[in-house]
Structure 1
Amino acid sequence: MAAEDDQRPADRPDPAGQLNPPPWLLRAFLLAAATVAGFVVAFWLLQQLQGLLTVLMVSLFLAFAIEPAVNWLARHGWRRGPATGVVFLTLLLVVVGFVWTLGSLLVEQVTTLVENAPRYADEAVDLVNKTFKTDMSGDDIEKYATEWSSSLEGYAVGLAGNVWGIGTTAVAALFQALGVLLFTYYFAADGPRFRNAVCSLLPPNKQRHVLRAWDIAVEKTGGYIYSRGLLALVSTLAHYIMLRVFDVPSAFALALWVGVVSQFIPTVGTYLAGALPVVVAVVNNPPDGLWVIGFIILYQQFENYVLQPRITATTLDMHPAVAFGAVLAGAAILGPTGALLAIPVTATLQAFAGAYIRRYDVEVPAEDAPLPLPKPERPHHRLIRIRRPKRD
């Protein structure tokens, strides 16, 4: 009787003979539905704002990269706004000079190729006939060239029909570039104010961790740009001397291409950088192409095992396998943008983990040292207790 009185009203059967649901069931159902809806809305917002988030991420990376230079100017009496503008102008001049140099190289090589096309065709025909024992002539080359030009003309007509899509893509890329420049300027010029605004939302014990993480990110990103720039300068000088020795045309432009592309494009930058001077050297004088290939291979070994460890020892010390895996992961997540940002982001995470994760020394005996002898086991003595009869 007492057990029946202890039943809650929600658990008592109704006149139809069914139990009423507990009162928390409806609240749990609504909470679960709201959680699922929140995740769906958040995922949808991330998809819609993916372009803006990418722009903000790239801008923050660029702001980290130029902040050491801005801080140096600020310590020497400059205001942060004009200091950021001077750094921006310097980088803009460097980029324009690089593009102008490569543009002049492209125009020069295309002009040379057009002027010497008949001679190159005759030499190619002679080489094919001698190598493969064929009997080709200039008429065959002309026929193939006519077919290729017809195919190229059809491709150009199709490309012109899609000019609206190309123009729209170009305008979108231009707006993204302007957005990156604008956000980068604000992040760099108002860096201390931005950090204070973020830290004001956190308790004091959390503020120290945020400021430390920010300083590590600035140090590693700036160190990455500094080390890459120094390696690019050394590579440009070395390849310029080599190309001048072999009298390769446009030596400075090719050396600048090798230095910049090999250092700032991860993983495949070395191969892209070395292909162009080899092609130009082969076109100018085929035997020189072999010498250029040999020098590029030797210099790459010198850079990987001698020069790069010394320069990056204090700025960006990362195992090559970790860097390669980071580039692949970044490319899988954000494409080319992720590949470019992968190494400095990984270096920042590695430094942050090293600052907070405690490591211990591994006590392992040397390989040639004899193993310690096991301790001798103590003999087991069987204790026998003799019970004596009790005396009355």
Structure 2
Amino acid sequence: MNAERPTLAAAARFSGRCLLITGLVFVLGYIISRLPLIFLSVFVSLLFTSLLHPVADWLARHRVPRSLAALATVLLSVALIGGLFAWIVPKTAAELSASSDTLARRAQSLARSFMQLLPGEQPTLDELGGRAEQWVRQHSQMLTSGAAAGAATLLSVLSGMLLTLVLTFFFVRDGSTLVRTTLSLLSPERRRLAGAALDRAWRTLGGWVRGTVVVALIDAVGIGVGLLILGVPLALPIALLTFLSAFVPVVGAVLAGAVAVLIAWATQGTQDALITLGIVLAIQQLESNVLQPIVMGRVLPLHPAVVLLAVTAGALVAGIAGAFVSVPLLAAVTAGGQALFEKGHKPPRSDDSPPVEPEDMDEQLPVHH
């Protein structure tokens, strides 16, 4: 009976900790659900910071003032992204205009094929157009309210982009100071554990971003070059879509590949669509069997099944934003938890080894000078 009491007490302590962690996760999830714009802006800012702070550090080491280095880095990234879109958007509009007749014919052919599958008398395209016009008139109020909601969403997106830009500047400039100030509120031992967990999580997050950029760039170049060789219109926008969709694991690659095949079929025909499908499948096999193990194998401490479940759960909870955030967030939390567990089970410091103070923690913090 006495032997069972320690086991029962240990089980009770473990259950209490699980309940405490569950409650904390629930509270954090509730706060995030009430402030999604702020959370997403902060998270995207951290992703950009992981890419930009090495550049700002290099400038600072070459005697450029830290504020000027951070500002120049952020403005340069904005100029590069803006220039890319300024180059691609006119080309996309021109190619859409040149391919409009072909796309219209393919759309009509596809509509006829679907109508033949419907039971009963088949309506003509003119009748379908009339029905659509009548539906628009009947639901004009709903469409107006939807347009107002769309305008509000666009305003929120623009506000989030501006907030992300400003936060990125402050994180690049003052990231290490913010972390040191926060950790200085803890006791030396807890400061050591929290610093180790933050450092591992930050390294994992930065490695995920850099690895994803490399994999996405290779995917985009491969598919874009293949489409250019085939003469498929909209090759550059599809390549850009492939690059962006790589930040949503599993699902993004499938959607981008489907768009590429559909555009090839609509503009070039079935043969080129099949060739495009072969190119997409070859690139995806290269990614999953070669690029992911080499580039992401040591960075992402997650099994592919866990990645798929995380993407699915994130999409169900918060749509595209949830699918985008789920994997890097889970990877960072997992890596930080592992570091916390490892450091927590190490023997305590010897008496001749003083605890790490905030001003001496530069090499342990997730954002360096």
After TM superposition, the score normalised by the length of structure 2 is: 0.70
C-alpha offsets along residues 148-169 of structure 1, whole Å, 9 cap, x if unaligned? 3443565566423554443333
CA distance 1:112–1:160, change in 2 (3 Å): farther
Contact 1:59 1:181 in 2 (8 A): yes
The aligned length equals 315
Equivalent residue for 2:165?
181
Contact kept, 8 Å, 1:62 with 1:184, in 2: the verdict is: yes
Which one-letter code corresponds to 2:243 in the other structure? G
Corresponding residue for 2:247? 264
For residue 81 of structure 2, what is the aligned residue in structure 1? Answer: 95
Deviates more, 1:179-188 or 1:106-115: 106-115
Query: In 1, Cα distance between the equivalents of 2:307 and 2:178?
Result: 30
Q: Deviations over 1:215-235 (max 9, x none)?
A: 223321221111111112211
Which amino acid in the other structure matches residue 326 of structure 1? A
1:302 aligns with 2:274: no
Shift in alpha-carbon separation, 1:47–1:355, aligned structure 2, 3 A: closer
State the 1:331 CA deviation: 4.1
Separation (CA, whole Å) in 1 of partners of 2:98 and 2:75:
34
Residue 271 (structure 2) pairs with residue 285 (structure 1): no
The structure-2 alpha-carbon separation of the partners of 1:209 and 1:300, relative to structure 1 and needing over 3 Å to count, comes to same
1:354 is displaced (CA, Å) by 3.5
* Cα offset, 1:247, TM superposition: 1.5
| Cα distance, 1:292 vs structure 2 | 0.7
Which amino acid is the alignment partner of residue 234 of structure 1? I
TM-score (norm 1): 0.67
Q: In 2 relative to 1, CA 146–106 (structure 1 residues): closer, same or farther, beyond 3 Å?
A: farther
* Larger radius of gyration between Structure 1 and Structure 2: 1
2:129 to 121, 142, 145: 145
Q: Give unpaired runs (5+ residues) of structure 2.
A: 1-26, 343-369
The answer to whether residue 258 in structure 2 is matched with residue 275 in structure 1 is yes
Alignment partners' CA distance in 2, 1:348 and 1:191: 17
Counterpart residue number, 2:224: 240
Taking every aligned residue pair, what percent have the same amino acid on both sides? 26
Residue equivalent to 1:316:
300
Q: Does 1:171 align with 2:126?
A: no
2-structure distance, mates of 1:144, 1:172: 36
Aligned counterparts of 2:142 and 2:83: Cα–Cα separation in 1 = 34
Distance 1:182 1:131 in 2: 53
CA contact (8 A) 1:278 1:293 kept: yes
1:67–1:222 Cα contact (<8 Å) kept: no
Distance 2:108 2:36 in 1: 53
Alignment partners' CA distance in 2, 1:47 and 1:232: 29
CA offset digits 1:94-122 (Å, max 9, x no partner): 43245445534653454245434675477
8 Å CA contact retained: 1:65, 1:221: no
Question: Which residue is equivalent to 1:9?
Answer: none
Task: Say if 2:232 and 2:267, in contact at 8 Å, map to a contact too.
Answer: yes
Q: How far apart are the structure 1 equivalents of 2:160 and 2:58? A: 29
C-alpha distance in 1, partners of 2:248/2:80?
Answer: 17
Residues 371-386 of structure 1 correspond to what in structure 2 (within 5 A)?
none
| Cα distance change, pair 260–204 in 1 and its aligned pair in 2 (3 A) | same
In 2, are the aligned partners of 1:63 and 1:188 still within 8 Å (CA)? yes
Matches within 5 A, 1:9-20: none
Q: Residues 46 and 121 (structure 1 numbering): CA distance in 2 closer, same or farther, change over 3 Å? A: closer
For 2:121 and 2:169, the matched residues in 1 are separated by 64
- Determine if contact 1:258/1:274 at 8 Å carries over to the other structure: yes
Q: How far did 1:44 drift?
A: 9.2
The within-5 A match list for 1:196-207 is: 196-207=180-191
CA distance in 2, matches of 1:207, 1:167: 46
Q: Following superposition of structure 1 onto structure 2, how do residues 7-156 of structure 1 map, counting pairs within 5 Å?
A: 51-100=37-86, 103-104=89-90, 106-108=92-94, 110-112=96-98, 114-116=100-102, 119-120=105-106, 140-152=124-136
Question: What is the aligned-residue RMSD (CA, Å)?
Answer: 3.8
Structure 1 residue runs of 5 or longer lacking an equivalent are 1-40, 359-392
Asked if structure 2 preserves the Cα contact closer than 8 Å seen for 1:68 and 1:222, the reply is: no
Instruction: Report which structure shows greater RCO (CA 8 Å, sep ≥6).
Output: 2
The worse-fitting range, judged by mean Cα deviation, of 154-163 and 203-212 is: 154-163
Deviation, 1:173, is 3.2
Q: Given the superposition, is the C-alpha separation of residues 243 and 48 from structure 1 closer, same or farther in structure 2, using an over 3 Å criterion?
A: closer
For the Cα contact (< 8 Å) 1:231–1:308, is it kept in 2?
Answer: yes
Higher-helix-fraction structure: 2
